[in-house]
Amino acid sequence: MHFVDAKGILTGSGGYYGMNIYRGCTHGCIYCDSRSRCYQFMHPFEDIEVKQNAPELLERVLKSKREKGMIGTGAMSDPYMHCEENLRLTRRCLEIILENGFGVAIQTKFDRILRDINLLSEINRSAKCVVQMTLTTSDDGLCRILEPNVCNTKRRIEVLKKCVRMVFQRLSSLRRFCLLSMILRITSQ
């Protein structure tokens, strides 16, 4: 893990933004395409780059926006990796998103998101919160091979259920989506 002062924190426009507080990921999923050279990593993928000034950058850019919007995070790097336990940068950025009236769409494979469930619930009440989790396989042994450093699919379903209860409980019409995005072909080799 190494620390940098980033120049920017949001990409996108028109009310839909992407945010990566970390670059690289330690979850070790064998199908991960974020390692691709097209993303121009200058360091090993597992040597996480930490944008230590992410909260300051985010606060500045959100205060400068005239219209509110949605901020997506987790597409290129899980925002709840093990290092987030102590660094708490994801949590701080969620607080800033809430303070500034923006919504969030967050992708993760880790139950550490439950630490921030009250915060996500508040964001959902004031704007909008979307929680996305990849559900890979019900075979725990296979899950450990495919995704060695995250909680298994059964646990992720439990986390989603808690999110439904805690984050979305005040919605009169709750929408749940299932996105079928990638099929893994497993062979005996």
Residues lying near ligand SF4 in the complex (CB under 6 A): 25, 27-29, 32, 34, 77-78, 109
Which is nearer to ligand SF4, 108 or 124 (by Cβ)? Answer: 108
Nearest residue (CB) to ligand SF4, 49 versus 59: 49
Q: How far is the CB of 162 from ligand SF4 (least distance, A)?
A: 20
Using the minimum distance from each CB to ligand SF4, give the nearer residue, 99 or 140: 140
Question: How far is the CA of 27 from the CAs of 40, 69, 81, 147, in angstroms?
Answer: 19, 29, 7, 7
CB of 28 to ligand SF4, least distance (A): 6
In whole angstroms, how close is the CB of 134 to ligand SF4 at the nearest point?
8
Give the C-alpha separation, 46 to 153, whole Å.
Answer: 22
Rounded CA gap, 120 and 144, in Å? 28
| Residue 165 CB burial class (10 angstroms; 0-12, 13-18, ≥19) | exposed
178-182 long-range contacts, Cβ below 8 Å, gap at least 24? 179/132, 182/31
State which residue, 98 or 130, has the beta carbon closest to ligand SF4.
130
- Least Å distance, CB 174 to ligand SF4, is 26
